[in-house]
Amino acid sequence: MRLVVDEVTVRYPRADRHILADASLTVEPDRTLAVLGPSGSGKSTLLSVLGGLVTPTRGTARVAVAEGLAPALRDVTAWVLQTVNVLPERSALDNVAVAARTRGLGREESRAVAADRLADVGLARRAGDAARVLSGGELQRVVIARALASARPFLLADEPTGQLDRATSEAVLDALFTTSVGAGVVVVTHDLAVAARCDSIVRIDDGRVVTA
Ligand SMILES: Nc1ncnc2c1ncn2[C@@H]1O[C@H](COP(=O)(O)OP(=O)(O)OP(=O)(O)O)[C@@H](O)[C@H]1O
């Protein structure tokens, strides 16, 4: 299974310019891909196209499968966003279990999956703590555990280490890259050190995706 963006142009309603223009990209399973580019160049927009949240004005974005009916982009992607969308009063475990529930798992099974994924990112001992008492780096690992708990084949990470210092950022990236083995991972970043840890790097240049 691959994610394929084919000559996609995106122009937001009432915007006076194209954000993406004939952008093409393939996201491979089991590979990590960094997307670089200046602020406003369309990195998050490209990620939203890959996640099926933004429909291209022209061109296509789709899941390509070897045989059978291709699933929708939304059904094969999970998001690692910055931590604003964590429920602060709920425990780390509850926050992660929510994603397992969306897979149709029952309550107890979801909690068991959540506990496993929190252990994967090194947070087993914080599972019962309310999200609001966790540090920024810990919260970001909760967000990764939540994406992993949804068991989607592709992870879309938008500036996953944007607000973290170097050491914390390294720990978060370790969690992301070691636990996501088997998934295709797309990481939008400004940080060259983050990009250097990925299998390949592209840049958005004047609306197009170019190999960096
Ligand atoms: N829903 C929207 N409607 C109109 N314009 C939008 C919308 N979303 C983004 N834009 C505009 O599209 C451009 C690209 O935004 P995008 O968030 O994709 O860039 P980015 O490269 O991720 O930027 P940053 O690095 O600053 O997060 C910006 O000029 C932004 O204002």
| Protein residue closest via CA to atom 6 of ligand 1 | 12
**27: which strand partners?**
3
Token pair listed for 56: 């291209």
Ligand 1 atom closest to 42 (CA): 18
CA of 190 to the centre of ligand 1 (A): 14
Q: Is the pLDDT of residue 160 over 90?
A: no
Tens of pLDDT along 120-147?
888 999 999 999 999 888 888 899 899 8
Contact 187, 156 (CB under 8 A): no
Ligand 1 atom closest to 41 (CA): 21
CA of 151 to the centre of ligand 1 (A): 28
Distance CA 151, CA 13 (A): 33
HEC readout, 124-144: HHHCCCEHHHCCHHHHHHHHH
Average pLDDT of the residues in 195-200: 93
Q: Confirm whether pTM is higher than 0.80.
A: yes
As for ligand 1, residues whose beta carbon falls within 6 Å of it are 12, 15, 19, 37, 39-45
Ligand 1 atom closest to 54 (CA): 1
Give the model's pLDDT for residue 154. Answer: 95
Average pLDDT of the residues in 78-82: 85
- Measured CA to CA in angstroms, residue 158 lies from 70, 79, 82, 120, 135 at distances of 25, 8, 7, 21, 19
pLDDT-above-70 percentage for the chain: 99
Contact 142, 94 (CB under 8 A): no
In order, the DSSP letters of 5-36 are EEEEEE--TT-SS-SEEEEEEEE-TT-EEEEE
Give the model's pLDDT for residue 17. Answer: 85
Compute the residue count for the chain.
212
User: In 3D, which of 69, 52, 44 has the Cα closest to residue 162?
Assistant: 44
Give the model's pLDDT for residue 100. Answer: 92
Token pair listed for 98: 């929510």
Average pLDDT of the residues in 147-173: 86
CA of 44 to the centre of ligand 1 (A): 7
Ligand 1 atom closest to 37 (CA): 21
CA of 212 to the centre of ligand 1 (A): 21
CA of 12 to the centre of ligand 1 (A): 9
Distance CA 149, CA 190 (A): 27
| Pocket probe mutation, ligand 1, options 18, 44, 190, 208, max atoms within 8 Å of Cβ | 44
* From 9-13, 44-48, 82-86, 93-97, the region with the lowest mean pLDDT: 82-86
Burial string for 48-76 (b: 16+ CB within 10 Å, else e) reads bbbbbebebeebebebeeeeeeebebeeb
Give the model's pLDDT for residue 58. Answer: 95
Give the model's pLDDT for residue 175. Answer: 80
